Structure formats: structure tokens, C-alpha cells
């Protein structure tokens, strides 16, 4: 087996997208069950690995502008889940759209860090994760999406057929792999 990808990078950055209490809100449950129930634990493992090596971690927080959103600032849904809670020295970037690059300073922050490997985790695979990974790839970042450290929810397709969370997740990964990023597992990362 080859060396973990973390070990081959000079300046790896771990990007954790929207792991906030709001993901457990009723409106997500209404969309259908989620996949990858171990994602938060896998993210916690990644965090421990990055922190033990004093590597850069950036937390993305969705700050909704919608008054009815569970992600609205000032309420518990906006808080980070305990498994992914930032430390005082870790950067938090707030976003209002699905992509962590739109209206934020994420790109200049990554360039200033001379990031040569961007490792992405979070929720939802087919929404904020996919939008962010597409932009990262288009901006020229060497991007790795950790499949078992992100998740999504079941949803209906355009023909009104209910697709399982596993199907939605797999299609999103297929959309991204090889063009915008390399899809990997936690084990391949660390």
C-alpha cells in the first residue's frame, strides 16, 4: 500500500463544510434518511490526525440569511457539532451560499497557505460539498474528497423517483471524481 496522501503533501489543509447542529433538524429528515452514519466520527479522526501534526484546519459554517432556517446565526442549529468543533486557533469561514468560495476569503486564505493538497469533508455531498469541490478544482487546487467523511440525504430526482441517500451520494462522487477532485477514503488520506 502506498503512503497516506497526508504524508505526501507539504501543506495539506483539511476543509470541514457545514458540520453544524442544523444538519439534524427536522427539515433534513423530511427529505429522507441520510447515508454514512459514521461521517462525523470519521471527521473527528481526521481532525485528530491534522491537529496532532499541527496541520491547517479550516471550518466552514453556513450562516443562513433565511429567518426560518436552522442554520440562522444566533440559534443552536448554527453551532458546530461537537465532533467537529473548532479549536481557538482554527480558522472559521462563514458562508451564505452553497459554495465556500463565494463571498468568502477561502481562496486567498488557501493561496496564502501555499496549500498543495485540499482535503474536503462535510455535508451535504450533493450540495455544499459538491459546489465547493467543483470550484476548488476549477481554481486549480489539488483536491481530495473523502467519501466516508461526508454525507447527504435521500431526495427525489427530476422524474419524482425517490433516490436513497447512498444513491445521491454516489452520483455526486461520480460527478466530481477525476474532473474536479480525486475521491478517496479516510484510510487513503491518513
pLDDT tens for 74-115 read 999 999 999 999 999 999 999 999 999 999 999 999 999 999
* Angstrom distances, CA of residue 130 to CA of 12, 52, 53, 156, 177: 19, 28, 27, 18, 11
Cell of 25: 433538524
Using N-to-C axis directions, what is the helix angle for 165-176 and 130-138, rounded to 10°? Answer: 0
Q: State the DSSP code for 87.
A: P
Residue range(s) defining the domain that contains residue 30: 5-189
Is residue 20 scored above 80 in pLDDT? Answer: yes
Cell of 187: 484510510
Whole-model pTM over 0.85:
yes
What is the structure's pLDDT at 29? 63
What is the structure's pLDDT at 26? 57
* CATH label of the domain that carries residue 110: 3.40.50.850
Count of domains observed in the chain: 1
Amino acid at each position: 500500500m502506498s503512503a497516506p496522501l497526508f504524508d505526501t503533501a507539504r501543506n495539506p489543509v483539511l476543509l470541514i463544510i457545514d458540520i453544524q447542529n442544523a444538519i439534524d433538524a427536522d427539515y433534513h429528515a423530511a427529505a429522507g434518511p441520510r447515508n454514512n452514519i459514521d461521517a462525523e466520527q470519521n471527521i473527528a479522526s481526521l481532525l485528530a490526525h491534522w491537529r496532532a501534526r499541527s496541520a491547517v484546519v479550516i471550518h466552514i459554517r453556513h450562516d443562513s440569511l433565511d429567518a426560518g432556517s436552522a442554520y440562522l446565526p444566533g440559534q443552536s442549529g448554527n453551532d458546530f457539532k461537537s465532533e467537529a468543533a473548532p479549536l481557538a486557533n482554527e480558522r472559521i469561514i462563514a458562508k451564505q451560499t452553497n459554495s465556500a468560495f463565494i463571498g468568502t476569503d477561502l481562496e486567498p486564505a488557501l493561496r496564502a497557505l501555499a496549500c498543495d493538497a485540499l482535503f474536503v469533508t462535510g455535508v451535504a455531498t450533493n450540495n455544499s460539498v459538491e459546489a465547493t469541490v467543483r470550484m476548488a478544482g476549477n481554481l486549480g487546487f489539488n483536491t481530495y474528497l473523502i467519501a466516508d467523511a461526508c454525507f447527504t440525504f435521500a431526495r427525489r430526482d427530476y422524474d419524482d423517483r425517490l433516490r436513497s441517500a447512498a444513491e445521491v451520494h454516489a452520483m455526486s462522487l461520480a460527478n466530481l471524481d477525476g474532473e474536479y477532485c480525486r475521491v478517496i477514503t479516510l484510510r487513503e488520506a491518513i
